[in-house]
Structure 1
């Protein structure tokens, strides 16, 4: 009998960055979908490789000795937070060691590896949550929450999610109750029947302004206005500043807009970071943990000095880092692909009183020739895919004095760092900043220079 499809039991001996875990079965290395060191799990082998077996974890048989805290009641089924129940100190140290291992595999050796930075908040820290409508059981009642672990279409009703605060939970519960009462069906990803797709809730950590965005395939306007009134009747700790309705008739299961309508308030909310104000629009990117983002940005800006006259901030989004860097550098230019984000960044920079900020809308690979002169420093904060190889080569060829790389995906970070060190760059320092407690994810900020190592 072949190994593929076999169900096995094994002890988790190692964790790999990104949430996967490693055990052993009859002398063979097994990489499974999730697990915590010290657990005994049941797993199903899905693929046989030359060097290892790939598996999906089916269930945890015995807990790990490091699981010492009470987990969220959804932890057994929800696919969101695989490190719940583990002490936070252990989480941070484990993620730091996993990122170090990625560096070590590529022989990347920073002069200084700083201690990891903890999030100021461990629970209730998210300023955005994208809930999905669905059914936890086929033919069952409407659910609203997160996708079930290991199952692409089933949705767990996450009424008690610990990553968000009470206002998120009130809005989620009021919404799913409203549509259950009216027997409105979720949008089915295969048949494309049904109406309800997503509920996106944002709450600014430091201003408490709340935005709620209901995403549907189609819905009578009278119905969404009734839903709006239900939300306005809620007693919330924050300020419900924006209620939006987005129509998305695309096949892809992503939050996007064919049409958006403001049902109440305004089409944006305001957040404050390190004394600056930023405007968050429905589809703009903003770090999901404002508390830890302040720690991350303070580290990044500390790498600049008054001698840095010309700084480029690539993948700048709403210009958050651009404006914070403008406090220290003489001139900062941000580049961002999303035109809407660039337009908003320009407005916010003006409102924050910066005259040394400018922004270019376009792809980094295609706009480098528009940049004004040789940079003293480059700031990189790319999407999870990292910097395209050709774009990275062009950036390195610009020969700035220093490069500050902020990454939400250390796996692609080390790809770019390997390319940089091969071109003669030196990694001065690296540091993990935990923006995602109770999950396997972490941010990493790296300082590089063209100078020779001492």
Structure 2
């Protein structure tokens, strides 16, 4: 039985008589972490494989967005890759939270770099870009400080598979911080009053946030906290329930170090931190520059940032969307940090960036495809890339974080 023995039987609920299999040689990794393959005259994607493997795959044909789609899932490994290992998690295959636990960690890093290279190859300005090797996470497991659980069947805590939508009860998640797993063990089968639950923990503190507030008298821990605290880069941050915070603290601190060392700061610069969140970059870099202006659309995140500022007196926060507020800054911008969501920068943001013409741009991205799209627009208007450093914020998954430094 293959890597996805549970997923395979449920994905599209095909009858046995409708099942289709094919022997395929797997090609390059794709941006979504699966492998390219050729079935007849069709280029398809196969989940659960490693480039170069010969596999027997279960083939699925279906309609999506009014188009015919063909994809597959590995059912049997005929010629395994030397990088294939046994997944440590007992839920791997039925839970879809991790995609790559069956791949040796060092090779995961190589594949993530390849995903970035492939994204850059789509644009002439980026084809010859030098990309450093991906910096490994200090922890391959137990690195996440935030989990969103589904709750089903009279209080069972777990996850819903993204492909099948089937619920999987989980007593321990190997990529979650130990404090999250201990919380799950205390609440398992006791939270039937809700259909979902969020647990966030301070890796460097004893703080925990559990939402929603639970009323079961058998629950022996506090729930319903409005915020938790975390120590990050020498500062104490408060993170409210709606606010975004990086899930891998050690790697996020490494990002600050990389940005700081790459910019050769003199101490007099004006730095604009767009999409600033709770201010991890703005606050961590404030002592190294003359002035920081941070833009954030979440009022909750700005409130959290103001808690962490303390006696820092050279930071100004602006509430609003970057594409709307960046143009209001009258200062000459020496350094602009762009750290948008996975969808990348709004087109209006790129337009204003080019108008403002900051001396240096730091682009932090969790999606190589949207990163490449935005970089191409900036490079076509005179910017040059001086440094590209990927980091693995999300071991056991295909996701990768990338820092790009640009100047004129």
TM range (shorter): 0.7 to 0.9
Q: Are 2:187 and 1:163 aligned?
A: no
In structure 2, relative to structure 1, the CA distance for the partners of 1:64 and 1:147 (3 Å cut) is farther
Deviations 1:297-342 (A, max 9, x none): 2112223311652110000000110011212111011000001211
Structural mapping, 1:182-221, within 5 Å: 184=192, 196-214=194-212
Q: The residue matched to 2:375 in structure 1 has which SS?
A: helix
Q: Are 2:31 and 1:17 aligned?
A: yes
Structural mapping, 1:280-295, within 5 Å: 280-295=239-254
Q: Are 2:58 and 1:42 aligned?
A: yes
- Residue 22 of structure 1: CA displacement? 1.0
- For structure 2, which runs of at least 5 residues remain unmatched after alignment? 1-17
- Residue 7 of structure 1: CA displacement? 2.6
Q: Distance in 1 between matches of 2:206 and 2:94?
A: 30
- Residue 439 of structure 1: CA displacement? 0.5
Q: Which moved more, 1:99-108 or 1:21-30?
A: 21-30
The answer to whether the 8 Å contact 1:171/1:231 transfers is no
Aligned to 1:231: 220
- Residue 42 of structure 1: CA displacement? 1.6
Q: Are 2:384 and 1:426 aligned?
A: yes
Q: How many residues align structurally? A: 383
Q: The residue matched to 1:83 in structure 2 has which SS?
A: coil
- Residue 11 of structure 1: CA displacement? 3.3
Q: Are 2:131 and 1:116 aligned?
A: no
Deviations 1:401-440 (A, max 9, x none): 1000000111111110111111111111111100000001
The answer to whether the 8 Å contact 2:46/2:73 transfers is no
Q: Distance in 2 between matches of 1:12 and 1:320?
A: 41
Q: The residue matched to 2:385 in structure 1 has which SS?
A: strand
Aligned to 1:126: 144
Q: Match for 1:401 among 332, 347, 359?
A: 359
In structure 2, relative to structure 1, the CA distance for the partners of 1:47 and 1:427 (3 Å cut) is farther
RMSD over aligned CA atoms reads 2.4
Q: Match for 1:55 among 63, 67, 70?
A: 70
Aligned to 2:164: 151
- Residue 29 of structure 1: CA displacement? 1.7
Q: Distance in 1 between matches of 2:208 and 2:129?
A: 43
Q: Distance in 2 between matches of 1:164 and 1:347?
A: 27
Q: Match for 1:174 among 186, 191, 204?
A: 186
Aligned to 1:68: 85
- Residue 6 of structure 1: CA displacement? 7.2
Q: Distance in 1 between matches of 2:64 and 2:283?
A: 50
Q: Distance in 2 between matches of 1:158 and 1:36?
A: 27
Q: The residue matched to 1:231 in structure 2 has which SS?
A: coil
Q: The residue matched to 1:312 in structure 2 has which SS?
A: strand
Q: The residue matched to 1:230 in structure 2 has which SS?
A: coil
Q: Are 2:235 and 1:276 aligned?
A: yes
In structure 2, relative to structure 1, the CA distance for the partners of 1:88 and 1:428 (3 Å cut) is same
Structural mapping, 1:20-31, within 5 Å: 20-31=34-45
The answer to whether the 8 Å contact 2:242/2:300 transfers is no
Q: The residue matched to 2:190 in structure 1 has which SS?
A: helix
In structure 2, relative to structure 1, the CA distance for the partners of 1:134 and 1:209 (3 Å cut) is same
Q: The residue matched to 2:95 in structure 1 has which SS?
A: coil
In structure 2, relative to structure 1, the CA distance for the partners of 1:328 and 1:365 (3 Å cut) is same
Q: The residue matched to 2:183 in structure 1 has which SS?
A: helix
Q: Are 2:63 and 1:104 aligned?
A: no
Q: Distance in 1 between matches of 2:43 and 2:227?
A: 50
The answer to whether the 8 Å contact 1:205/1:291 transfers is no
